[in-house]
A and B are shown apart, each in its own frame.
Chain A
Amino acid sequence: MSESFSTREIMIAAAAREICDGEVVFVGMRLPLVAFAVAKALHAPTAIGVFENGVLRDRSATQPIVTMSDPPNLDGALACTGLLEVMSLLQRGRIDLGFIGGAEIDRFGNLNTTLTQGVRLPGSGGAADIASFACRTVIIMMHEQRRFQEQVSYRTSPGYGNGADWRTRIGLPGGGPSKVVTSLGVFGFTAEGEMQLESLHPGSSLDDVRANTGWPLLISADVGETRAPSIEEIQLIRRFDTLG
């Protein structure tokens, strides 16, 4: 018995599966927010969500939120601290997982959210800090060729730099990106810090992925299919993803 699902829904399901029980997660808005709620309801009931504005919560908000300071994100929180508090958690290595996104990504998982060929983007916000300090990050992106560049033209949030032991050499304490969840599949990173395809979403092909990736992509030896969202996952996603 299976239910049809959208690309957005499988991305949320895949992101939710990256959250382990008991972890402290730097959440963010939109898609990761839904993934966090789904993970809490299913396999990570004791995970704690941290927001840039200082909110720490171990229950999902019961109403849709547009900004992280909306009342439903404050109600029932464990604590409403401040930016300094959550930045300190990050720098002390107490954030297990941070979600980030970007306009462009490269083969070593570096992200650009600042500027591309003449186009001005929003800038870092806190993403550079999350990418530098979180024990690991999960990147969520639409998979399009213009977004998957061999090398980003501007590095907003560091991944594995130019590979190998780059992070250690320049003194970045966080672990770097562990997964990239895209509209076509799920990717991991080799020991050399290079992105590698791990699974294809149902309906997308290796050719799709190659055509939309701007460098010769590494493919894992045991590449499989991303597990389709279960009925339970789909129901939860639809319950929490009210803002579309």
Chain B
Amino acid sequence: MHELAVTENLLKTALRHGEAAAARRVTDLHLVIGELATIVGDSVQFYWDIISKGTLCEGASLHFERVPAELRCLDCGHPYKLDGALTECPACASARVRIVAGDEFRLEAIEVEG
């Protein structure tokens, strides 16, 4: 729902690193987005195409690596993926669980020319 704000941040970061690398053009961005980060890739792409126009990043492709949300049971150690709604540990039914992956939301790398 806040993809415009997010995409603006993304553009700023990519431009900063593109300029620092003395790039003529940024061609690709590699993003890692966890399932719990509540970011819709299609919306980011939509805003990206609009706001990157006329910048070093115009026409750059966005690549999303989605990270599923993962939990671990504190009682039996069983790791499991969040499948839709939150559930207790499927192995021992304990509610003592921790989310260990799925919050990721970062720009991993960019590819540049020049």
Q: Do A and B bind each other?
A: no
